[in-house]
Structure 1
């Protein structure tokens, strides 16, 4: 599978990326890949070990004569986001990712590609295999469950890593280097809500909102993209005018992906069905006009469903739930006053469901300031507490405070200018790089993050520019050699 990848350059990187595409690795299912990499390390004669959580480290001694160079930790995460287009039958725990090349970009067929963070991992493996590279002591750190909980980084063993420099290869823009990132936390809301029997004069409507682009809930949160949960809740709130009662809801699958689709069933008086359908049609036009070319694929439909074995929420409970959801924070809350053009604080209504009265919501809040993350989470606690729901804040992780005076950054900038003819843009990212967590456990580490050009991460539109991978590889090799020779 994916044999065509080995015809791409640089060969070593794409060869390892092929292995990653052929080995299923959604979050929580990285065990097979870890065993594959351990077997590969044994074949290469490289030492390896795991910490208690299962994070994998592969070590390579310095090139002879460069033993005194600073130790480098090359870091990436093994898991990938598992997202497939509606109607695309793909089992991420068993099926390989099928890739194809189009117009200079590598895509996957109907699923996420896993370039996030597969290409960073592939580049690390290529470094370990490169017999012509001059380098100091190397440690390759492969963490687990980054996409769902940051579990690998949060549970990373202390006093385990030996290097003093860390290269995180989980960024997605060519010509840029990242020196800071947002922290975040999951807000999980659960409630068992009262329901009442479907009345004889009530008709059930099925609503579907599909066709949105989706995207990364951090890096894409400031783009003109629709959030399917936010939009369908808005439609349902408008249908309150007909005394509609919510029966079921399903929107989004990951808290760190902007939802592309959402579906609901409601009950309302049969005499109002035609007017309700007309309202939905009108709202479809309104939402399309608002989204414009930024997210032009929206489709919103409503149709009668002949079912009687359902039990909607009570009238008051349905109204209360929809009012609460309609008022919930979503999207950009504040732009940074210190870093122009960077989002400071945001929230993504990522996963929302209602089934047989069981309500569940998982939102991801992010901020460059840990205090603002806490404040946003507390707003959710206050809001959903009003309806008696159980609200938990979990999987919190710290941000990564930027250090513009970093010696590692200065070396990277100079090397980038020499190789590419220009200095890179120094950036702070509104996403949860593991650097913040790693830095809290290993405060002495000097860290930067960079990578190839990836677009549409966390969605089936994910793709990587092939040419940028060559540039990324050249930069990575050149930086490692520079650090081995000049320090």
Structure 2
């Protein structure tokens, strides 16, 4: 099997192969950071760890480029850990098994980490190269971007000296990003009383698996199934009819990934088992018809389960199911200013059963503050009706577009000169760290570029090989074209 390090540009792909070999899920990226820092210091590059653990590496300008504006190449160290249910993989200890699949690089049953590993690899390849022309370079590698943007939140003024920041976290070649959505985590907690399991009840597990999932920002407009919402829909439609009594409900694993799988344990009168099988078959057919174009791998199964000692109290179960079914999810509003861009969205990402009740974790995104506030208030209203608690945390600002950005003009002109066409200037419905950088560095001139990555935050994640080459050519040509101070 051809190693990915043999692909072009080899310096970038060699680094990506190294990145894949060192586990680096969110909050466990220190081993990778330490490896990179040791490598940089061995090459005589200046390194710095800031107060929260971000790594900064500095490289002098090449001869004759000393008067150019300083450029910060920025990527995040962590990756989203998602795997298929039948994949044996420990993200804390096992390397990512990346391989070439036709025109793409992908992984075996797990996320690939091209988000943001390819961008990180490109920045490190620039540091390593002796044949590139560039002014002063700083590489900023932040921690914990995917699970809370801890590194970006903690970045202090005075650490960076560059005037231009190139974010490498975009996921569509030919598109240059000049703005992004802000967001906030929302947690709904509903207290659920329990009561003894009634007599003569059968217990089963209903599993909804095989959905595509994906990035809750970049993919939210694609109409993919949300496993949590779909199981709530089944319960709302058939729970009373079948006498279903919940004892456990779980689905999804990350608030910023569309949930691909969900499970619920229910008990019901023995006499209703055959009718449950019929309703499951009907609901499966319904979903296969509704989602035929976007969820060809959908699976809805029924299996026997151990009887629990207790089930949810009937009234609390009814409230929970109504809350989950009524909660907004997906695209709330499209942007009026940017054609085809989602303005506001919500992802019901994680549902977990605890001894005292059920917790529902969501991520609200919006390119405008009022849109985010509107959805916060929608959840608050639902919480009031259901008697649930709503907590909001980790709010981060969007990156407001700057139509007069000088680096945007440089990238646009360089792209046209290099490839003979103009790139699309875009705003992305995802939480790039750029908005947070503006607080300590309000004068930073920023742009975001990257290769084509499909299905990030899901085990189907893949990066298109040819676009990595184009992205590298664009990045290195832009560095050469940076103007004087």
Give the alignment's TM-score, normalised by structure 2. Answer: 0.97
Q: Distance in 2 between matches of 1:33 and 1:478?
A: 28
Give per-residue Cα distances to partners, 1:360-410, cap 9 Å, x unaligned: 111000000122212212321221233333321001100011112211111
Q: Distance in 2 between matches of 1:3 and 1:297?
A: 29
Contact conserved, 2:335 with 2:341, CA < 8 A, in 1? Answer: yes
Look up the match of 2:436.
437
Contact conserved, 1:245 with 1:319, CA < 8 A, in 2? Answer: no
**Is 2:168 the partner of 1:169?**
yes
**Is 2:419 the partner of 1:420?**
yes
SS of equivalent to 1:284: helix
**Is 2:326 the partner of 1:327?**
yes
Q: Cα offset for 1:299?
A: 1.2
Contact conserved, 2:47 with 2:55, CA < 8 A, in 1? Answer: yes
Q: Distance in 2 between matches of 1:308 and 1:43?
A: 60
Q: Cα offset for 1:159?
A: 2.0
Look up the match of 1:33.
32
Contact conserved, 2:2 with 2:100, CA < 8 A, in 1? Answer: no
Look up the match of 1:260.
260
Look up the match of 2:359.
360
Q: Distance in 1 between matches of 2:415 and 2:221?
A: 28
Q: Distance in 2 between matches of 1:483 and 1:310?
A: 68
Question: 1:438-477 alignment to 2 at 5 Å?
Answer: 438-477=437-476
Contact conserved, 2:190 with 2:320, CA < 8 A, in 1? Answer: no
Q: Distance in 2 between matches of 1:3 and 1:413?
A: 35
**Is 2:52 the partner of 1:57?**
no
Q: Distance in 1 between matches of 2:188 and 2:294?
A: 30
Q: Distance in 2 between matches of 1:96 and 1:328?
A: 38
Question: 1:216-227 alignment to 2 at 5 Å?
Answer: 216-227=215-226
Contact conserved, 1:245 with 1:268, CA < 8 A, in 2? Answer: yes
Q: Cα offset for 1:357?
A: 4.4
Contact conserved, 1:243 with 1:315, CA < 8 A, in 2? Answer: no
SS of equivalent to 2:194: coil
Q: Distance in 1 between matches of 2:160 and 2:354?
A: 46
Look up the match of 2:130.
131
**Is 2:100 the partner of 1:101?**
yes
Give per-residue Cα distances to partners, 1:143-164, cap 9 Å, x unaligned: 0100111111111122211111
**Is 2:227 the partner of 1:251?**
no
Q: Cα offset for 1:236?
A: 1.3
Contact conserved, 1:249 with 1:355, CA < 8 A, in 2? Answer: no
Q: Cα offset for 1:232?
A: 1.1
Look up the match of 1:235.
234
Q: Distance in 1 between matches of 2:324 and 2:161?
A: 47
Give the alignment's TM-score, normalised by structure 1. Answer: 0.97
Look up the match of 2:180.
181
Look up the match of 1:22.
21
Q: Cα offset for 1:268?
A: 2.1
Number of residue pairs matched? 484
Q: Cα offset for 1:304?
A: 3.9
SS of equivalent to 1:213: coil
Look up the match of 2:210.
211
Q: Distance in 1 between matches of 2:20 and 2:250?
A: 29
Structure 1 residue runs without a partner (length 5+): none
What is the root-mean-square deviation of aligned Cα atoms in Å? Answer: 1.4
Q: Cα offset for 1:203?
A: 2.1
Q: Distance in 1 between matches of 2:303 and 2:119?
A: 46
Contact conserved, 1:244 with 1:315, CA < 8 A, in 2? Answer: no
Q: Cα offset for 1:275?
A: 1.4
**Is 2:116 the partner of 1:117?**
yes
Give per-residue Cα distances to partners, 1:77-133, cap 9 Å, x unaligned: 000000111121111111111111111111111111000000000000011111111
Q: Distance in 2 between matches of 1:6 and 1:277?
A: 50
Look up the match of 1:80.
79
Contact conserved, 2:55 with 2:140, CA < 8 A, in 1? Answer: yes
SS of equivalent to 2:311: coil
Look up the match of 1:283.
283
SS of equivalent to 1:126: helix
